[in-house]
Amino acid sequence: MKNPQLNKHGELQHLLTTEGLPAAIMRDILDRAATFLDAGGHEIKKVPLLHGKSVFNVFFENSTRTRTTFEIAAKRLSADVVNLNIGSSSTSKGETLLDTVGNLCAMHADMFVVRHAQSGAAHFIARHVAPDVHVINAGDGRHAHPTQALLDMFTIRHYKKEFHNLRVAIIGDVLHSRVARSQIHALTTLGVPEVRVIAPKTLLPTMVENLGVHVYHDMVQGLREVDVVLMLRLQNERMAGALLPSAQEYFKYYGLTQEKLALAKSDAIVMHPGPMNRGIEIDSSVADGAHSVILSQVTFGIAVRMAVMSMLAGKAQ
């Protein structure tokens, strides 16, 4: 079946999901992102690669990190950036998603960055735009959040250098998490030999093993000797009914504390996509501690998003 995010030359046309995204393209994105960072990995260059292009940020769901870092990334690439405020747009008057996008295309949008509560929204838009317009999925329902996963891969490679020798644990609300799904596809594609998921049964999708992960319900077992700890946010807004006894109970069994982290390797890194619920998913002493690389993830996200946008803009027609 044709991959909807690749063009006829096998190049990236849209970035919709890490599922089925070739390893060579993922590595190209990570390598390209590295060129936008200084040697220390914290200063980001301004380059003219998207000069004259218009990037439209269309966020139907709230965001701090993704929307802002896409805006910074587009500006560092010298693009013109338009942030559509959905709350005050004509969507609130009943305009359809496609009519909104069609009108933005008439304003000469070259690229859309889309976040939507409905899984498949970015794919839907990608199917309806002209061939010279690109769509980046900035998170759709519980389905995919590919740039989050790619910035996570960049962060892991920055600190651990290789993927082939790692044991990685993903902890928390896997069931509702687009981040977890995109991370699992990216980690397995890049050759991580052991990906674990640690969660209560109520927060795991059925048949999650089919994604190539090892399932644990106990942090004490699951955290042993891991190199990378990927925490997830409890997606309360996507939970129908009570899947957990209480936040306190959740923290007791699945919150990351110093004591539990001591079960991982002594040089393990701790990551979280944000926003964090301190004292529920993660203790503040861990979130702000020596193993945490959570704020580096945010900075690297700018470079990774620059890499994705410049790759899309530079592809053959």
Binding segment for ligand CP (CB under 6 A), chosen from 58-66, 152-160, 188-196, 251-259, is 58-66
- The answer to the question of residue 148 lying near ligand CP (CB under 6 A) is yes
As measured in angstroms, the least distance from the Cβ of 16 to ligand CP is 16
Helices (H), 262-317: 284-287, 294-313
Question: Residue 192, exposed/middle/buried by CB under 10 A (0-12, 13-18, 19+)?
Answer: buried
Based on the residue annotation, tell me whether 65 is a catalytic residue of this protein. Answer: yes
Q: Which is nearer to ligand CP, 222 or 274 (CB)?
A: 274
- Judged by beta carbon, residue 70 or residue 163, the one nearer ligand CP is 70
d(CA 30, CA 151): 8
Tell me the window of 46-54, 61-69, 92-100, 239-247 that interacts with ligand CP (CB under 6 A): 61-69
Terminal-to-terminal C-alpha distance of the chain: 21
How far apart are CB 179 and ligand CP at their closest, in Å? 7
Cβ closest to ligand CP, residue 203 vs residue 232:
232
Least distance between ligand CP and beta carbon 311 (Å): 20
Q: Is 53 a catalytic residue?
A: no
The smaller minimum CB distance to ligand CP, of residues 65 and 214, is found at: 65
Region of residue 147 (phi > 0: left; psi between -120 and 50: alpha; otherwise: beta): alpha
Among 27, 32, 65, 224, the one annotated catalytic: 65
Decide if residue 172 touches ligand CP (CB under 6 A). no
Specify whether the CB–CB gap between 311 and 9 falls below 8 A: no
Alpha helix stretches (DSSP H) within 117-203: 121-128, 146-160, 178-189
Q: Which is nearer to ligand CP, 105 or 276 (CB)?
A: 276
145 is catalytic: yes
| Nearest residue to 125 (alpha-carbon basis) of 145, 148, 149, 102 | 102
Q: How far is CA 186 from CA 19, 33, 116, in A?
A: 7, 16, 21
260 in active site:
no
Please identify, among the stretches 193-201, 206-214, 224-232, 272-280, the one whose residues bind ligand CP according to the rule CB under 6 A: 272-280
| Parallel, antiparallel or unpaired: strands 80-84 and 54-59 | parallel
Return the range that interacts with ligand CP (CB under 6 A); candidates 35-43, 94-102, 120-128, 270-278.
270-278
5 or 183: CB nearest ligand CP:
183
User: For ligand CP, which stretch binds (CB under 6 A), given 17-25, 30-38, 63-71, 105-113?
Assistant: 63-71
Closest Cα partner for 2 from 134, 154, 126, 171? 126
Q: In whole angstroms, how close is the CB of 275 to ligand CP at the nearest point?
A: 6
CB neighbour list of residue 181: distance below 8 Å, 6 or more residues apart: 19, 142, 143, 144, 211
Q: Which among 198, 157, 185 is positioned nearest to 281, based on CA atoms? A: 198
Among 17, 18, 66, 299, the one annotated catalytic: 66
96 catalytically annotated: no
**Angle subtended at Cα 188 by Cα 186 and Cα 192, rounded to the nearest 5 degrees:** 110
The verdict on 64 binding ligand CP (CB under 6 A) reads yes
Rule CB under 6 A: choose which of 219, 273, 306, 309 binds ligand CP. Answer: 273
Determine which residue in the list 274, 299, 304, 313 makes contact with ligand CP, applying CB under 6 A. Answer: 274
For residue 228, report the phi and psi dihedrals to the nearest 5 degrees.
Answer: -135, 130
Rule CB under 6 A: is residue 177 a binding residue for ligand CP?
no
- Which residues form the catalytic set? 65-66, 93, 115, 145
Q: Which residues bind ligand CP (CB under 6 A)?
A: 63-66, 139, 148, 273-275
